[in-house]
Structure 1
Amino acid sequence: MTELRRIDVHQHIVPPVWRSALAERGLTSGGWAVPPWSPGAAMAMMDRQGIATGILSVTSPGTVLADGGSGPRLARAVNEFGAEVTAAHPDRFGMFASLPLPDVDAALAEAVYALDDLAADGVVVMSNVHGKYLGDPDFEPLWQELDRRGATVFVHPAQPPLPLLDGTPAPMADYVFDTTRAALNMTLNGVMDRYRALKVILSHGGGFLPYAAYRFAGLEATTVDPNRSAESVLTDLKRFYFDTALAASPSSLPALLAFAEPGHVLYGSDWPFASEQAGSYFNGFLQDYHDLTPGRSADIERGSAEVLFPRLAGTVLAR
């Protein structure tokens, strides 16, 4: 009998309405085709990978597509589909609700509906929406409401406003860049300082934020804004949470674990956009990492997520 312990905060859902919307517009996810998905296939993967619960979210390009007009309707349809899946399997799935940014009024309405009526576990936003980043002053009303609720916000990378490198899909390189760009934009524009009840999870180990955090803090204090100390920048950067999806490697784990605050590293798989083979590859690094204490390993696998999602406390399953 296998014990399923992990809480996977970076697992994707592919609602049929979203797949159709992308296909109608000839869109992909950053150059990657949209893979098959079903609740049964997801739970079979989770059983094999020791995952008790997956928090589901729609990946890039989110629900505001190239024409922009379908955002609120598509977000509502996506979220109601995710809520149905979660309600049918409450121990196995949770949901981050999609928000139709950059329409702040529509995003606020959808956040309230999803959190109050659909019992979403949090919300997902893309790192940028058509070139508009998360620290933009226009987004302040959304952060105010989510902070009032102490909500959990999952930041998933999107294609930055520049052309793809030839032969290099966005998830290979541009996504880690854009996650870092969004996090720095939120920090330097004061979002992480003003809204301290927010819990913000960065995908893929935060891009290269942990590796370059002291560079950002030092240059901000000495070159950009002399009225701000490096320590204050670091304090705000350390407020982020980080998932391990595609980031639990021998070169990235040392920086991530050295930088992140205790309890701020969470397990992530990125399935099905990252294959189960890729998940197993990074799980092996995570399991074999010699500097990871048993306590911190347990926190990454589920303890830290139980704090963010109290309804999942104790949902260790056996298969």
Structure 2
Amino acid sequence: MGRSDPATRESPWSNAIDVHHHIIPDLYVEELRKIGFASVLPGVDKPEWRVETSLSMMDRQGIRAAVVNVWPGVPAVDAVTGARFARRVNEHLAELVAAHPGRLGAFAVLPLPHLDASLEELAYSADVLGLDGAGLVTNYGGVYVGDLSLDAFHAEAARREIPLFVHPTAPPVDQPAFGLPVSLCEFPFETVRLTAQLLYNRTLDRHPGLRMILSHGGGGMAYYAARLACGPLIRADLAERLPADPIAYLRRLYSDTAMIGDPHAFPAVRSLASPYRILVGSDFPFMPESFSGQGSRYIADHGGFSAEELERIETGNASDLFPRLAKYQ
């Protein structure tokens, strides 16, 4: 199925694969409560979710398939509790995908930063459950996912070519919030923090098969990219840690279109991100369908992409990352 004429189609897409699509299963909420967590993230409204609401939204928005994630995944608990929690949620995700194999994929949740438990669950989620990738948050109790202590995890994800979808979460220390949700201001900075870590740890160079998607257009990465490359100008020894071409290095990261479809944010992302590294993201249902639809329409109609580039953004890039979904075209 190809893209229809923009002048006649009602939806922003016609054949998209949405890689930033949240679900909040009742099972997940119940499992959180069992271990003493009452909310997915304090200060953030929890929308009502049913699989039918996702599928109907996808139909209206021209989204053929969505790779769903359960955010923020496994809370800060010990390794045994975290592993048990992750297994329960991932088995539920596998059941959901099996019921809708052409419409839904899923990112597994992992009990990070517990390395051994996470490696075991990564293997189980891929080899036994057949899930399509792993969903991470930027930091786990202050351990950011680019930390060298997680190098074995990066190596295994790279070896298996398992896509990693990284969504921001609350920073590990309290920041001034002014009575506002932490997601409003801190989430883009969270992704910038992770980007700086990935850059100066040369994570992608050491694990060239790593396929990492940074949500929300990479947060503030595009705006901060050149500044992040200035480390050696501030402290000379950082030159030894910085890749030879830091901008080209950052362009190897994938990002999605969630919350960047406006005339202020998107030009920055457009200037940095390759069309072959941009993926469709709706952020549904935490962001309303009307908002994501308007943003997607802006990107499709005003992004300055060729027809071939739009096809890559809408379907082709995601098909390369998620071959199981590609066969349902």
Q: TM-score, normalised by structure 1?
A: 0.92
Counterpart residue identity of residue 169, structure 1: P
Q: Is the 8 A contact 1:221 1:227 kept in 2?
A: no
Give the structure 2 partner of residue 275 of structure 1. 288
Is 1:158 matched with 2:169? Answer: yes
TM-fit CA distance, 1:151 = 1.5
Give the structure 2 partner of residue 175 of structure 1. 187
TM-fit CA distance, 1:277 = 2.2
Q: Is the 8 A contact 1:15 1:78 kept in 2?
A: no
Quick one: distance in 2 between partners of 1:209 and 1:30?
25
User: Cα gap change, 1:143/1:222 in structure 2, threshold over 3 Å: closer, same or farther?
Assistant: same
Question: Structure 2 residue aligned with 1:17, among 4, 19, 27?
Answer: 27
Give the structure 2 partner of residue 294 of structure 1. 307
Question: Structure 2 residue aligned with 1:226, among 203, 214, 239?
Answer: 239
Question: Structure 1 residue aligned with 2:138, among 99, 122, 127?
Answer: 127
Give the structure 1 partner of residue 120 of structure 2. 109
Counterpart residue identity of residue 260, structure 1: A
- Return 198-207 or 31-40, whichever deviates more: 31-40
- Return 79-88 or 215-224, whichever deviates more: 215-224
Q: Secondary structure at the match of 2:58?
A: helix
TM-fit CA distance, 1:6 = 0.8
Is 1:259 matched with 2:272? Answer: yes
Q: Secondary structure at the match of 1:25?
A: coil
TM-fit CA distance, 1:221 = 5.9
Q: CA RMSD in A?
A: 2.1
Q: Give the 5 Å matches for 1:213-252.
A: 213-220=225-232, 223-224=235-236, 225-227=238-240, 231-252=244-265
- Identity percentage of aligned residues: 37
Is 1:6 matched with 2:16? Answer: yes
Is 1:309 matched with 2:319? Answer: no
Quick one: distance in 1 between partners of 2:303 and 2:111?
42
Give the structure 2 partner of residue 188 of structure 1. 200
Question: Structure 1 residue aligned with 2:108, among 91, 97, 113?
Answer: 97
Q: Is the 8 A contact 1:11 1:272 kept in 2?
A: yes
User: Cα gap change, 1:49/1:114 in structure 2, threshold over 3 Å: closer, same or farther?
Assistant: same
Q: Is the 8 A contact 2:40 2:71 kept in 1?
A: no
Counterpart residue identity of residue 247, structure 2: L
Q: Give the 5 Å matches for 1:67-82.
A: 70-82=81-93
Q: Is the 8 A contact 1:30 1:158 kept in 2?
A: no
Is 1:27 matched with 2:77? Answer: no
Q: Is the 8 A contact 2:261 2:294 kept in 1?
A: no
Q: Deviations over 1:7-39 (max 9, x none)?
A: 000001212222124454232325212222121
Q: Is the 8 A contact 1:127 1:133 kept in 2?
A: yes
Q: Deviations over 1:245-285 (max 9, x none)?
A: 11122122222122113410000001111121221231232
Q: Is the 8 A contact 2:90 2:108 kept in 1?
A: yes
Q: Which runs of 5+ in 1 are unaligned?
A: none
Counterpart residue identity of residue 163, structure 1: D
Q: TM-score, normalised by structure 2?
A: 0.89
Quick one: distance in 2 between partners of 1:230 and 1:191?
10
Counterpart residue identity of residue 111, structure 1: L
Q: Which runs of 5+ in 2 are unaligned?
A: 1-8
Q: Is the 8 A contact 1:154 1:201 kept in 2?
A: yes
